[in-house]
Amino acid sequence: MTNQVATNSFLAKLGIESINPGTSTGKDNFMDSNAEVKNIHSPVDGSLIGSIAYTTAEEYEKVVTKAEEAYQIWRKIPAPKRGEIVRQYGNLLREYKDALGRLVSFEMGKSLQEGLGEVQEMIDICDFAVGLSRQLHGLTMHSERPNHRMYEQWHPVGVVGIISAFNFPVAVWSWNSMLAAICGDVCIWKPSEKTPLSAVACQKLMARIIEENNLPEGLFCLINGDYKVGEWMSHDERIPLVSATGSVRMGKAVGSALAQRFGKALLELGGNNAIILTPNANLDLAMVGVLFGAVGTAGQRCTTTRRLIIHESIYEQVKEKLVKAYGQLTIGNPLESNLVGPLIDKAAVNAYLNAIEQLKKEGGKVLCGAEVLSGPGYESGCYVKPTICEAQNSYKIVQSETFAPILYLLKYSALEEAIALQNGVKQGLSSAIFTNHMQEAEEFLSAWGSDCGIANVNIGTSGAEIGGAFGGEKETGGGRESGSDAWKAYMRRQTNTLNFGKELPLAQGIKFDL
């Protein structure tokens, strides 16, 4: 069975036809006759997968209304019972893991292993959320007043808006929605307009759980469209929290709109991630981390390794190893065991080419790659060769994030210089150092070391685990998703003081003669 046929079979099994409703509240689908319809083509072979109807303003109002109604019911259901719903969804994902993983790979272009891995992340966050549903704890504090008890508790915020990016078309939604659900929130999801069919598939699976458990319509909602739909959500006072994953430009727009109305923003934006290689590094280990970090998902991860900071004593050796390794990469259909698949579309290809030209203008040198592939197997025009360049950290193109497999090699002489280079960009998502020297590792992890939200030793910049909070600093947005105490972002804190005495002591000894 071909990838196209397998994908269409999965879509048909879920009731997704050639023209798919772009708006859903879980049970009902809305289809406005005036809706704009967009065709979705696979970057793998350029074929038409299906079509999606964009959400209209009228549909959007129906969705938000349904979500508000569902929240009134959902927030009163005990958290462990909410966790049971998430558990059921995780089990359904296990059943459809292969089919959904293939759809993700075919629609987005990542390797099948990565597509399946993304669905596994969804399953893992469901498991995490189920356990968390019994651990939404607050603190108890000693009051300075006699016969008083003081404590804090956490309540759901309400309707949560989720804006996700094309590179992880389903996992990031689950990071947010599964945690938000056990917290008592309801969710409205706007997926990337480049990968909406994977989102529709996830919504269809969730619709089964909603129906089987007789849950309220509007608990999990889906809206499709371009940036305009994101603007509606960002400016909508009925949505107290918006979690947005994407570019820095998008994050600034969302964050600004939310700030104007005192809404909460959870932002996971761009990365310009670096790996430091010291003379004490195990280079065999490091090459694995560098290679996957730089070319995994064809360089379309926010945690992609974009800069490699190499000690001058091993620079030539590392450069030779990397160029040789890049020459052995297999590029092609990601569902056929190739290591590198296509970029998402031709706009991404143009960004790749422009970045290489800009590098040359600034004085950089291309060591390998820098080519768009054509011919049999590359008909979509979205396949490029992963590229290695020699550069300076000060180059304008190095300071920005290009969502493509371009790796910049930088040279350093002292660790303090390497850390300064690592921190010398506006983004602050992921970072790594390869060293077997304890002092070098500890300095990198210290308060004066990496300024990123993620700092690794002897592993690469990509490959975050569900148990840890994911996110970064500076222009990466400061948000945290997934594990640890990231659940608190989806709740509001309330401090409670309970007087069980027969007197009401006032501050500064004030008394009223009543």
Report how far residue 160's alpha carbon sits from residue 490's, in angstroms, rounded to the nearest whole number: 8
Q: What is the mean pLDDT of the chain?
A: 94
Kind of pairing, strands 305-311 and 365-368?
unpaired
**Structure-token pair, residue 465:** 């685990």
Instruction: State residue 1's pLDDT score.
Output: 41
- Lowest mean pLDDT, pick from 16-25, 200-209, 408-417: 16-25
CA-closest candidate to residue 318, choices 281, 274, 365: 281
Instruction: State residue 96's pLDDT score.
Output: 96
pLDDT in tens, 98-116: 999 999 999 999 999 999 9
Torsions phi, psi for 365 (to 5 deg): -130, 130
**Structure-token pair, residue 381:** 């025009």
Using an 8 Å Cβ cutoff, are 152 and 494 in contact?
Answer: yes
**Structure-token pair, residue 123:** 């399953």
Instruction: State residue 13's pLDDT score.
Output: 62
> How far, rounded to the nearest angstrom, does the alpha carbon of residue 431 sit from its chain's CA centroid?
17
In angstroms, the Cα distances linking 172 to 89, 130, 200, 376 are 16, 17, 15, 34
Share of the chain above pLDDT 70, in %: 94
Using an 8 Å Cβ cutoff, are 20 and 42 in contact?
Answer: no
Beta bridge partners of 274: 307, 431
68 carries an active-site annotation: no
Q: Which H helix or E strand runs over 267? A: strand 264-268
**Cα distance between the two ends of the chain:** 86
What number is the average pLDDT over the span 371-377?
96
Instruction: State residue 512's pLDDT score.
Output: 80
Instruction: State residue 513's pLDDT score.
Output: 77
pLDDT in tens, 4-60: 555 666 666 665 544 445 677 766 565 555 778 999 999 999 999 989 999 999 999
pLDDT in tens, 271-313: 999 999 999 999 999 999 999 999 999 999 999 999 999 999 9
212 carries an active-site annotation: no
Report how far residue 286's alpha carbon sits from residue 307's, in angstroms, rounded to the nearest whole number: 14
Instruction: State residue 21's pLDDT score.
Output: 53
Q: Among residues 107, 193, 217, 268, which one is catalytic? A: 268
Helix, strand or coil for residue 131? helix
Using an 8 Å Cβ cutoff, are 458 and 285 in contact?
Answer: yes
pLDDT(494) > 80: yes
pLDDT in tens, 115-130: 999 999 999 999 999 9
pLDDT(488) > 50: yes
What number is the average pLDDT over the span 379-402?
98
What number is the average pLDDT over the span 261-279?
97
Instruction: State residue 422's pLDDT score.
Output: 98
Q: Among residues 202, 302, 382, 452, which one is catalytic? A: 302
CB contact set of 177 (below 8 Å; sequence gap of 6+): 160, 162, 187, 189, 220
Of 494 and 12, more confident: 494
CA-closest candidate to residue 336, choices 492, 62, 111, 157: 111
Q: Where are the alpha helices (DSSP H) in 96-195?
A: 97-108, 112-132, 171-183
Using an 8 Å Cβ cutoff, are 392 and 309 in contact?
Answer: no
